[in-house]
C-alpha cells in the first residue's frame, strides 16, 4: 500500500463573512502590523474573493510578513506555495524552512508535509528518522494521513525496526478516522494474524468498511 503523498491544502480557502472595499479591505486599516490580520489579508489576495483581486505576489508578501512575525498558519501557507510553485518559483529549501517553523509551532498539516519531504527526500536528503519524528507528532495530534504513513513505516520496517503491534495501533487509529487504506491493511493484519491474534470477525468488519468505501482489494477479500 503506497503512502499517502498528497500535500494537504486545506488551509488556503476563501475567508467568508468579511466585507472588502474594492481591493483595499476596510477592516485592515490600522492593522498593518498585526500578524493575524496580515495572514488574513494574504489569504484574501490568494483566494481573490469578496471583491479582492487575486494576486499571488501580494499573498506571498503578506504571508511572509505574518510568517516572519511567527504566525503559524501563514508559515504553513507560505511553505505550501513554495512547495507547489504556486505564485512563486518552486523552492523546496524555502518550503522546508517554513514547514519546519510551522511544524515547531504545532501546525499539524506542516508536520505531516515536513515528514513527507524527509520520507521521500524531497528538497532534503532522505531521513527516515526525521520522517518518523514528524509523522509521530502529526499522528498524535490526530492527523489521519500521518497515522497511516506511520503505520506503514512500522509495518515495513522503514526507518524503524519492524513492529507489527505498533503498525496495528496506528492502522487502527487511522481506520477509525475513515482512512480506507488503513481499514484494508488492518483487515489484512487480523486476517493473517500479524501483530494481533487471528480474528476473522474483525477482519470481515474492516474488509467491509474498506469495501464499502470503494477499496477493490477489500471487496475481493
* Residue 181 lies inside a defined structural domain of this protein: yes
Question: Considering Cα of 49, then 53, then 59, then 65, what sign does the dihedral take?
Answer: negative
Per-residue pLDDT tens listing for the chain (221 residues)? 444 544 444 454 433 333 333 455 777 777 888 899 999 999 999 998 756 789 999 999 999 999 999 999 999 999 999 999 999 999 999 999 999 999 999 999 999 999 999 999 998 999 999 999 999 999 999 999 999 999 999 999 999 999 999 999 999 999 999 999 999 999 999 999 999 999 999 999 999 999 999 999 999 99
* Residue 153 lies inside a defined structural domain of this protein: yes
Q: Is 121 left (phi over 0), alpha (psi -120 to 50) or beta?
A: left
* Residue 35 lies inside a defined structural domain of this protein: no
* Residue 154 lies inside a defined structural domain of this protein: yes
Q: Give pLDDT, residue 23.
A: 59
* Residue 132 lies inside a defined structural domain of this protein: no
Q: pTM of the full predicted structure? A: 0.84
Per-residue HEC secondary structure of the chain comes to CCCCCCCCCCCCCCCCCCCCCCCCCHHHCCCCCCHHHHHHHHHHHHHCCCCCCCCHHHHHHHHHHHHHCCCHHHHHHHHHHHHHCCCCCCCHHHHHHHHHHHHHCCCHHHHHHHHHHHHHCCCCCCCHHHHHHHHHHHHHCCCHHHHHHHHHHHHHCCCCCCCHHHHHHHHHHHHHCCCHHHHHHHHHHHHHCCCCCCCHHHHHHHHHHHHHCCCHHHHHC
* Residue 192 lies inside a defined structural domain of this protein: yes
Q: Give pLDDT, residue 19.
A: 37
CA-closest candidate to residue 149, choices 164, 165, 170, 169: 170
Number of structural domains the chain divides into: 1
Q: Give pLDDT, residue 48.
A: 87
* Residue 155 lies inside a defined structural domain of this protein: yes
Residue 93 and residue 6: Cα distance in Å, rounded?
A: 19
Domain with 185, as residue range(s), is: 144-221
Q: Give pLDDT, residue 30.
A: 72
Task: Return the CATH number at 210.
Answer: 1.25.40.10
Residue 169 and residue 16: Cα distance in Å, rounded?
A: 39
Taken as a whole, the chain contains a residue count of: 221
* Residue 214 lies inside a defined structural domain of this protein: yes
Amino acid at each position: 500500500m503506497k503512502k499517502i503523498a498528497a500535500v494537504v491544502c486545506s488551509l488556503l480557502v476563501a475567508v467568508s463573512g468579511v466585507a472588502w472595499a474594492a481591493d483595499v479591505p476596510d477592516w485592515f486599516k490600522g492593522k498593518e502590523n498585526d500578524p493575524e490580520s496580515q495572514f488574513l489579508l494574504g489569504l484574501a489576495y490568494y483566494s481573490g474573493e469578496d471583491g479582492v483581486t487575486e494576486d499571488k505576489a501580494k499573498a506571498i508578501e503578506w504571508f511572509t510578513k505574518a510568517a516572519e512575525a511567527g504566525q503559524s498558519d501563514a508559515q504553513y501557507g507560505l511553505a505550501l506555495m513554495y512547495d507547489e510553485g504556486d505564485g512563486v518559483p518552486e523552492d523546496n529549501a524555502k518550503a522546508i524552512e517554513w514547514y519546519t517553523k510551522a511544524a515547531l509551532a504545532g501546525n499539524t498539516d506542516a508536520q505531516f508535509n515536513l515528514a513527507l519531504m524527509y520520507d521521500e527526500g524531497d528538497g532534503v536528503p532522505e531521513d527516515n528518522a526525521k520522517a518518523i519524528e514528524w509523522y509521530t507528532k502529526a499522528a498524535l495530534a490526530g492527523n489521519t494521513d500521518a497515522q497511516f504513513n506511520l503505520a506503514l513505516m512500522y509495518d515495513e520496517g522503514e526507518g524503524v525496526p519492524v513492529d507489527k503491534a505498533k503498525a496495528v495501533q496506528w492502522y487502527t487509529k487511522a481506520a477509525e478516522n475513515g482512512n480506507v487504506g488503513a481499514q484494508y491493511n488492518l483487515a489484512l493484519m487480523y486476517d493473517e494474524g500479524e501483530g494481533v491474534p487471528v480474528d476473522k470477525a474483525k477482519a470481515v468488519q474492516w474488509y467491509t468498511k474498506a469495501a464499502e468505501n470503494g477499496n477493490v482489494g477489500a471487496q475481493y477479500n
